[in-house]
Structure formats: structure tokens, C-alpha cells
Amino acid sequence: MRDASSGNASSDTMEVNHETHAPSARWLSQGAALVLEISGPWRGHRAALPEPPAAGDVASVRVDAQALQSWDASLASSLWHQLEPLSRRETPMDLQGLPEGLQQIVALALDARAPSNAGAAPAVGRMARVGARVSAAWAVRRKTLAFFGEVLLSLGRFFRGRSDMRASDLAWQIDQTGPRSLPIVSLVCFLVGLIVAYMGAAQLQRFGAQTYIADLVTVGVVREVAALLVGIVLAGRVGAAFAAQIGSMRANEEVDALATMGVNPVDFLVLPRVLALLIVGPLLTAFGALVGMAVGWMVAVGIYGVTPLEYVYASMEAITLPHVLVGLIKGTAYSVLVALAGCLQGMSAGRSAQAVGDATTAAVVQAIVWIVVVASVLTVVFQRLDF
């Protein structure tokens, strides 16, 4: 039923009941604002509230329940049903016209306190969302720290000979993460080493300093490039596999079955993977550095006329123990981070195919972010220590 009231307020109404003392509700349009008027006894009444009138952008919503005689939970549910879509669009909402108890219920259901005025609603809603995001982020950090603690405890049990890890699992993980990663590590290190050597040599040639190609390629590849490339390759190949494997076991309730049988899932699933990458990480880094140095030799000798013995001699002069140790330390750190990220996301995955896919993606992203952060920190630390 349309309200024929005159003045600035044009109305769009819908009566719930036409009896004199029956509960009624209607929406009024006041310019760009909407007002929901509720009156009569609503206790025990099951009729739904009218839908708000179709309109464009709504500036604000106000609820006027001064004529409301009684109410119960069904009215609160109906109010939430009508106001929740508007709340999702961050429409300013004034609930002060509701009785205090009903106001608190509806505000809680809308995930915001009833504002003192319509203009305060967006600020309260934004604060609530910021608080929820901060709380969720802190929960993720706590879960990550708790997982790191569990891995350290598992490592302690391993050194005391009380771990549930099997030697065969460790050997299998070493085979899967080490030898099977050599082809892709070789290819990536070859191509990136070629880029580094060619671009560096092109600049050195301008000053007639081709003999320093060996120093540039050797130090850059051994100290930084090889470890970073190995970490990124392992993140995409191994970290994703760890997350998918453990996530699938969680979806199939195999992790719960291990715990039921008295087997620690961290010892049985996580520790072999972490130790495997701890072992193969520095080996793959050393192999990648050798590939990068070899392609630098090819560029210097084949394109820029450096003699083979001159390049080898300059490379041996450039390689020092600190450079080698820095490269191996970084390669080991990146590999362990890849294992931790993959296992963390796998152990935290949900119990559906979609959740396992999300965990796999998150493992790769998290591993790469951790690698970049740790690379920056270690580079600054080693430079400050003059190491």
C-alpha cells in the first residue's frame, strides 16, 4: 500500500496487516534516506517485514519503532534479514529508534554497535573490520610460531632418539627433493648465469676490463644468485608438493588417524621433509653455483676473447671461503624456509579439494616472501659484519 503523505517525504509502504491493533511496518523514502516504521504488537507475530523500496544509492537508513508495543526474537530476525544487505554496502544505519534490548541484538547481528547517530555507523563498521583483520592476522602469526615450536620440539626428540620419524621416509624425501630437482636447477642457473655474465661483460667491455668477468660472475653467482634461484625453484617444485601431500592427508583424515594411533604427525610428516631440504639445500646451491660459473666461462671465452686459463685463474682468485660460506648458509636457510612453508600450509589446510589447492598456492607465495625477506636481512647482516 502506498502512503499518500505529503511534504518532502514521499513514501513507499507495505502494510503487514490492516487491523487497527495489528502489527504493521512500512518503508518511507525521505529523499535519499530510508526510514523503516514499525508499530503495534509484534510478539508472536511471524509475518516478515516488507522489502525496502527499490532505489539507487541509499544515503542512510533509520528505524523508527516508537509505536512498537511488544517484540520477540522473530522481529529481530526479520530486522536483520532486511538490514544486513544494506549493512554490507556500508550504508549508515541509525538503530536508536529501537528498544534497547532489540537494538543490541540487531547491532550484534550486524557486527557493529548501534551508533549514536547515522553518521557514526561507517566509522564503527570500519573499526570493527580493522579489528577483525588485525585479530585474524595475529591468529595466523600465532599459528606460525606454534608450528615452528612444534618443529623444534620434534627436532629435539630426534636428537634424543625418541622421534617417530622413520629413516626410510627421510631417504625417500632426499631422493625426491635432491636428485629429481637437478634438471630444473641446472636449467634455471644456466640461463640466469648466462644473463648475468653477458650483461656484466657488456658493461665491462666498455672499459676494456673483460678480465674481470670472472670476478663478477663468480662472486655474484656463488654468494647470491645460486642460493636465491635454488630457493625459488624449490618453492615452486617442492614446497607446493609438500603442501599438497600433507593437505590431501588432512582431507582424507590420515593425519587424524596417525594421532589416534599415537604417532606424532609432526615427527612423521614434517620432520623428514625439513631434514631432507636441510641436507640437499646446500648441495643444490653448490651445484647451481658451478653451473653459473661454467656458463660465465663460456661467455667470457667464447664471446669476449678471454683465455680459458685466465678465466679459471681469476675465478680461483675471486672465490674466497667467506663467499662460499655465505652462499651455502643462504641456500640452506632458503631451503629450510621452503620446507617449513609447505608443511605449515599443508598441516593448516582444510578438508576439501578447494582448501588443498589454496594451501598449495599459499605455500609457494609464503615461501617466496620468506626467502626475499631473509635474503635482505642476511645480506645486510653479512655486509655489516664485513663477511
Please name which of 302, 308, 283, 297 lies closest in space to residue 226, comparing C-alpha atoms: 283
pLDDT for position 115: 44
CA-closest candidate to residue 166, choices 242, 246, 281, 267: 267
What whole-number distance in Å separates Cα of residue 321 and Cα of residue 344?
34
Question: Cα separation of 36 and 29, whole Å?
Answer: 9
Q: Which domains does the chain have, with CATH numbers?
A: 10-127 (3.30.750.24), 164-384 (no CATH)
284/319 Cα distance (integer angstroms) = 18
User: Which residue's entry shows cell 590431501?
Assistant: 248
Find out whether 270 and 170 touch, Cβ atoms under 8 Å.
no
Q: Which pLDDT value is given to residue 112?
A: 45
Contact 264, 154 (CB under 8 A): yes
Q: How far apart are CA 230 and CA 236, in angstroms?
A: 10
Question: Can you give the pLDDT at residue 123?
Answer: 53
Cα separation, 339 vs 367, in Å, equals 8
Q: Which residue has the cell 507495505?
A: 14
Write down the residue that cell numbers 529508534 correspond to: 97
Integer-rounded Cα Rg, in Å, for the chain is: 33
Report yes or no: 104 and 73 within 8 Å, Cβ to Cβ. no
Tens digits of pLDDT across the chain (387 residues): 334 333 444 444 444 444 446 788 888 887 778 888 888 888 877 667 787 776 566 778 888 888 888 888 778 788 878 787 777 777 788 888 888 878 778 887 776 444 444 444 455 556 767 777 777 778 888 889 999 999 999 999 999 988 889 999 999 999 999 999 999 999 999 999 899 888 888 888 788 777 788 888 899 999 999 999 999 999 999 999 999 999 999 999 899 899 889 899 999 999 999 999 999 999 999 999 999 999 989 988 888 888 888 888 888 888 889 999 999 999 999 999 999 999 999 998 888 888 899 999 999 999 999 999 999 999 999 988 888
Largest Cα–Cα separation, the chain: 106
Distance, CA of 359 to CA of 334 (rounded, Å): 19
Angstrom distances, CA of residue 279 to CA of 7, 178, 181, 221, 269: 81, 9, 13, 20, 17
Burial class (CB in 10 A: 0-12, 13-18, 19+), 120: middle
Rounded to 5 degrees, what angle do the CA atoms 86, 48, 46 make?
140
Q: Which three-class secondary structure state does DSSP give residue 195?
A: helix
Rounded CA separation 58/76 (Å): 22
Q: What is the DSSP letter of 265?
A: H
| DSSP 8-state code for residue 53 | P
Report the C-alpha gap between 133 and 173 in whole angstroms.
37
Say how far apart CA 293 and CA 100 lie, in whole Å. Answer: 76
